[in-house]
Structure 1
């Protein structure tokens, strides 16, 4: 096994990456502190079972989902820099305890940026989906596709392929909903409008978050209303 150390300037942290049988594997323990903070918050006030769970990377963490989705009881468990594999690893600590009615899920952005292949990212999503179906059979998933961004414009073709694979899967899976934020973000072409992003060209601005909320809400409401 060959180990690589990747310096992440964006997070000022050190990310340990291993290459195992040609696959890039991120060490989930880099998030131990963040997960422990979630658990500490739960011990103080455990969210009600059946609420909507917003789960994913910094696009979820930085989003004021309580304000964006007023009238919908929800929990935000975004942890910046995370990948789909991290949500799999910590599933029984940050998903199962809440027994959510719907999971609004955003991952894949950092996966592709870290060098994972389209196949690996899609397979990781399949694994996550399988865990939900096995452990929380009544829970729906609203998938937010990987967003096009200014900073990662060169990776968009790979990200788009992941999105297409999951879209096709959603058409065959009654518990999986696809909230297409990507198409309207590209109304002005690629790269997307600067107005949708913070200064880093990666994370969303208030305008970007408003666009997402307008697209995600009706899909989420459909998931909540479907039996």
Structure 2
């Protein structure tokens, strides 16, 4: 009888614990596991200080030969998930500030627009929030913003993308130690439509031809 009661008590305790465990998992913010993986890597070997930090969404994450394409620079790649500017802001303390980079290159904003809930002005405001927090912690660190690209699968958002790019470009003109790298224009054909040959099958992410365009447009802005 005692064994039965003990087993019953254990089962009840396990059952009661299940909701809290599920809630704990549900409470984890987006891309938490990726950020934790970065932090685990850092605990084993911290990237060098005074490197150039590339950060943002999957177009950065999937740039697997990033370092090879900029051989004269020491780089850190911290692109994650299909993140947006809110996600980047959430993790500044985890994957930006700890590295003490000498320069930060940001690609983010496309997924904000693709959510169907955000217009160009809000993209600007989200970027401003990220930028101002970086400036607050690292006032002398130069920042490069890579313009939001024209993805064939997201062609319907082009008017918002064009407006958001222009708003961010004009804002950066008012901020010292900033550059705006226009990758949007060279990714278009003469008819104004995205070049399909520079994208992989999903018509969203780039192949090596696409990244070569980015390399050409970003290189002049990197600190030597």
Output the CA distance in 2 between the equivalents of 1:165 and 1:127: 14
Out of 149, 152, 156, the residue aligned to residue 150 of structure 1 is 152
The alignment status of 1:65 with 2:33, answered yes or no, reads no
DSSP 3-state at the match of 1:172: coil
Aligned length: 196
Gaps in structure 1 of 5+ consecutive residues? 1-26
Which position in structure 2 is the counterpart of 1:46?
46
Deviation of 1:188 (Å): 2.8
Change (3 A) 1:28 1:124: farther
In 2: Cα distance, 1:216 partner to 1:147 partner: 13
Structure exhibiting the larger radius of gyration computed from Cα positions: 2
Name 1:174's counterpart in structure 2: 176
Q: What is aligned with 1:84?
A: 85
Secondary structure of 1:143's match? Answer: strand
Tell me how far 1:28 sits from its aligned partner: 7.5
Shift of 1:108: 0.6
Q: Which structure is higher in strand share?
A: 1
* 1:107–1:146 Cα contact (<8 Å) kept: yes
Contact 1:149 1:191 in 2 (8 A): no
Q: Which residue of 2 aligns with 1:123?
A: 125
SS for the counterpart of 1:41 is: helix
Partner of 2:17: none
**How high is the TM-score relative to the length of structure 1?**
0.83
Conserved? CA contact 2:54–2:106, under 8 Å: yes
**CA shift digits 1:40-84 (9 cap, x unpaired):** 000111011111000010100011211111120010000121000
> Any conservation in 2 of the 1:198–1:205 contact (CA below 8 Å)?
yes
Q: CA deviation at 1:191?
A: 2.4
Task: Flag the structure with higher helix content.
Answer: 2
Q: CA–CA distance in 2 between the matches of 1:105 and 1:168?
A: 16
Q: Which residue of the partner structure matches residue 12 of structure 1?
A: none
Q: Does 1:102 align with 2:103?
A: yes
Q: SS of the residue aligned with 2:77?
A: strand
2:137 equivalent to 1:132: no
Tell me the SS of whatever aligns to 1:157. helix
C-alpha distance 118-28 of structure 1, shift in aligned 2 (>3 A): farther
Change (3 A) 1:56 1:171: same
Mapped contact 1:28–1:86 kept (Cα < 8 A)? no
CA distance in structure 1 between the aligned counterparts of 2:199 and 2:190, rounded to whole angstroms: 14
CA distance in 1, matches of 2:204, 2:43: 33
